[in-house]
Structure 1
Amino acid sequence: MSALWRINLWVCGFFALVTCACTALLMHQALADVERELQSAEAVVHYLSETAERDPASLQPRLTASLRHVRVDWLAADEALPVADQDGLDAWLGRVLFADASHSAKALDLADGRRVSIGVDPRDEIDEVWDSLQQLLAVCAMALALSLLTIRWAVRRGMRVLDELLLALQQVCSGRLNVRLRCAGAPEAQQLALHFNRMTDALEQARLDNARLTQTLLAVQERERTHLAQTLHDDLGQYLAGIRAQVCLLPLIAHQPETLARTVHLLEGHCEHLQQGFRVLVHDLYPVALQHLPMSEAFAMLVAQWRASHGIDCQLQVSAALPPLSPASKTHLYRLLQEALTNIVRHADASQVRVRLQHRGSRLRLWVRDNGHGAQQPQRPGVGLYSMYERARCLGGELKILSHPGAGWALALNMPVEGL
């Protein structure tokens, strides 16, 4: 059942209750009025009966024809009293109104030989009450019709807005994010259209950002693969080729002690360079220090290596007792700090960096601050910022990055430690 039909049913029910209440009130008032009218009519009937018995000539048909609430019927000599109609709405209404009243007509034999029936006539009261009921029902019917028409008009206008919104949502679900609603009509409809258009703008911008980030991630992935391939081929591959060539020379120079000693020394150097290259490569791919060292020492090693590589003063402050974290959480926290330090090198132009890792209660806080030139926060974060926000989300924490021109950058991570 549609909303319009439900509203119509509720309105019809309300009007039915109001009509029944008004009808009951009208009938209650009619009973009081009828009682007073019957008392007056009974007095008139009693007066006419006494007058007719004393002076039959005073009771003339032309005088009694226009009496209200009193019925005078002239009868033949053997004619019976008229019987009231017991069927129909008038009879039912008469029974409701005059159930407790006694208004039976009395037949009088006058001294001049005429015979007359005088009694209370309820038809006038029945007609009045019936007219009032008809007027009440007509007014209620007109009010109901006008209400239903007004509701239909108003609901149709509202449903038109909802139909447009539903059509627009279907287009959005199908991937058409450029759909917009017209900001026209009622203020509520304008607000709805305004917020819907803002939502579609945000969705379209998010799709563009995702597409841009996807392209950037693919480009970064290709660069990483290219760098890995070049490292394996140009650096490690050359050392392996040199080791292989020198190993092939060993049988030929076995009888030359000096040459053999130089070759062995070269082999040891190549193996050392090869081992260092593998260490750097593995460290770039995964922080092995997290597996073998406590988190505070792994952070200290990362800061020391970064300071030695870039020549920037970096001070680390770590709480004495850090909570136990899962391996995945350690990796996310380590990579987040690593990305923050990388961004400082690329964008901050700083000469001093402060890093704090503090455990307070059930929260773990990471704070990174530099004294660089700072900048306005970018409206569209790049891959680095997105990766940090995503790692913070995986940690269940809140990441804030603050910067003002000339005041440097500040990164603050606040994460829970319970349940990790």
Structure 2
Amino acid sequence: MSALRRTYLLVALFFVAVALVCTAVLLRQAAHDVQRELDAAQQVVDYLALSLRDEPQALAADLEQSLRHIRIERGNEQPAEPFDRPWLSRWLYPQVMPARVIERANGEQIRLAVNPDDEVEEVWDSLLQLLALFGLALALSLLTIRWAVGHALGVLEDLLGGLRQISRGQLATRLVARRLPEARRLAGHFNQMAGALEEAEAANARLTGTLLELQERERTRLAQVMHDDLGQYVAGIRARACLLRIQAEQPDAVRETAAHLERHSLDLQNGFRTLVRDLYPVMLEHLPLEEAVGQLVEQWQGAQGIECHLQLCGAIPAFTTEDKLHLYRLLQEALTNVARHAQARCVRLRLRGGAHGLRVLLRDDGHGEPPQRAGVGLRSMRERARCLGANLRLRHCPGRGWTLYLNLPCKGATA
């Protein structure tokens, strides 16, 4: 059953209940009034009966026509039933007094009895008027509800249809604003939600494309490193090993070739360590966060040639390995962005631990110009901050560099 039909049913039941109560009150009051009127009429009947016995001509024709609530019958035959008693008459006047019979000198009988028909008819007319009034009020109420609620139900139907289309992936769905102010506000909020979902889907599509591109770029870089650097070292080691067979009778040449092999092996080992560190910072599993960040700063400073000052304040909370990895990658990406885009000469990094968690401040002295569009680096930093449950803020000032604020509450740390 629809909401409109339920409303119709509830309103109809309410009107029926009120009508029944009013009918009961009306019948109760009417029974009291009818009883009082007919008691007075019974006294008139008794008075007329006494008057007719003493003076047979007391009941004149004009008086007979003006009597109300009194039934006068003339004749010698006694009727089996003086008058019909419908249910309303029996309800209003259950005890009917018997008719008074007067014998005239000429043998004619006059029967006088109380007749409640007029009073019952008045009560019946009042009851019909009351029920008609309630019926009219009910019809007007239902029409008003139909007119007033119809617009709201139309808005709900539009909203339901829009949500169905959104659930099917049709994010370009928009609601048409109706005349009601509430409907216009609802349509506005729905359209804003649909627009935000559409923008989020487009952003996710761009991010997915960027991640796929970055994945292919990373694979290309790894292939180049394996081929150009590590592959050359392996080729050199192989060439030196072949040369050893030729120089077997030349001790000095063997020693020189062995030294070359040792250097190539060391370079190969360092290359593998650098590659593994770029793929996954193994030191996070063995070192506290502050020492891992110290190594990151030292390696970045040596590789980029940019001065970086690390400041540790307070007791740094102990994080889970997963949270340490997110925080390490966030700082690594921030330093990479500084090296690529900021044109900075000095960077300051401060980690302040405390009872409320960890606060990170990274500031450079670069040009401070905003990027034309947010790259995958900034998006990955925001995503890692979201995984940490942290609040990440970025501020820039032209000519004074960029500043990164990261506030990681205690819920992201473990004791």
TM-score, reference length from structure 1 = 0.90
Alignment of 1:9-408 (within 5 A): 9-61=9-61, 63-76=63-76, 78-80=77-79, 82-86=81-85, 91-99=86-94, 101-361=95-355, 363-375=357-369, 381-405=374-398, 408=402
* 3-state SS of 1:411 partner: strand
Residues 369 and 50 of structure 1: CA distance in aligned 2, closer, same or farther (over 3 Å) = farther
> Hey, what's the Cα distance between the residues in 1 that align with 2:33 and 2:363?
93
Deviates more, 1:168-177 or 1:396-405: 396-405
RMSD of aligned residue pairs (Cα, Å): 2.4
| 8 Å CA contact 2:31, 2:92 repeated in 1 | yes
Cα contact 1:81–1:117 (8 A) shared by 2: no
Deviation at 1:244, TM superposition (A): 0.2
Determine the C-alpha separation between the residues in 1 that align with 2:334 and 2:308.
12
- Residue 20 to residue 273, structure 1, CA distance change in 2 (3 Å): same
Aligned-partner Cα distance in 1 for 2:398–2:38: 99
Does 402-411 or 283-292 show the bigger shift? 402-411
Cα displacement string for residues 109-145 of structure 1 (whole angstroms, at most 9, x for unaligned residues): 2345321111221111100110011011111112212
Q: Which amino acid aligns with 1:49?
A: A
SS at match of 2:176: coil
C-alpha distance in structure 2 between counterparts of 1:60 and 1:120, whole Å: 18
Partners of 1:255 and 1:158 lie apart in 2 by 101
Kindly tell me the number of residue pairs found equivalent between the two proteins: 413
Alignment partners' CA distance in 1, 2:336 and 2:186: 44
- Cα shift at 1:401: 3.0
| Cα contact 1:371–1:409 (8 A) shared by 2 | no
Note the C-alpha offset of 1:181.
1.5
* Percent of aligned pairs sharing the same letter: 50
Does 2:1 align with 1:6?
no
Q: What 5-or-longer segments of structure 2 have no aligned partner?
A: none
The one-character-per-residue Cα deviations of 1:354-384 (angstroms, maximum 9, x if unpaired) are 3232332252333323344435698x74322
Find the aligned partners of 1:64 and 1:406 in 2 and give their Cα distance.
Answer: 119
Supply the distance in 1 between the matched residues of 2:352 and 2:32 (Cα, whole angstroms).
Answer: 88
Deviation track 1:206-260 (CA, whole Å, cap 9, x = no partner) reads 1111111111111111111111101110111011101101101101111112222
Label 1:152 to 1:377 Cα distance change in 2 as closer, same or farther (>3 A). Answer: farther
- Tell me the secondary structure at the aligned position of residue 65 of structure 1: helix
| Maintained 8 Å contact 1:71/1:119 | yes
Deviation at 1:72, TM superposition (A): 1.5
CA distance in 2, matches of 1:153, 1:227: 69
402-411 or 113-122, which moves further after superposition?
402-411
Q: Which runs of 5+ in 1 are unaligned?
A: none
Separation in 2, partners of 1:214, 1:80: 104
**Contact 1:366/1:413 (<8 A) preserved:** yes
**Contact persistence 1:323–1:417 (CA under 8 A):** no
How far apart, CA to CA, are the structure 1 residues paired with 2:136 and 2:41? Answer: 36
Amino acid of the residue matched to residue 250 of structure 1? Answer: L
Separation (CA, whole Å) in 2 of partners of 1:374 and 1:21: 81
1:375–1:406: 8 Å Cα contact kept in structure 2? yes
Give the whole-Å Cα distance in 2 for the aligned partners of 1:121 and 1:370: 111
Tell me, in whole angstroms, the C-alpha distance in 1 between the residues paired with 2:26 and 2:344: 91
Q: For 1:221 and 1:256, locate their aligned partners in 2 and report how far apart those are by CA, in whole Å.
A: 50
Assess if the C-alpha contact under 8 Å between 1:363 and 1:414 holds in 2: yes
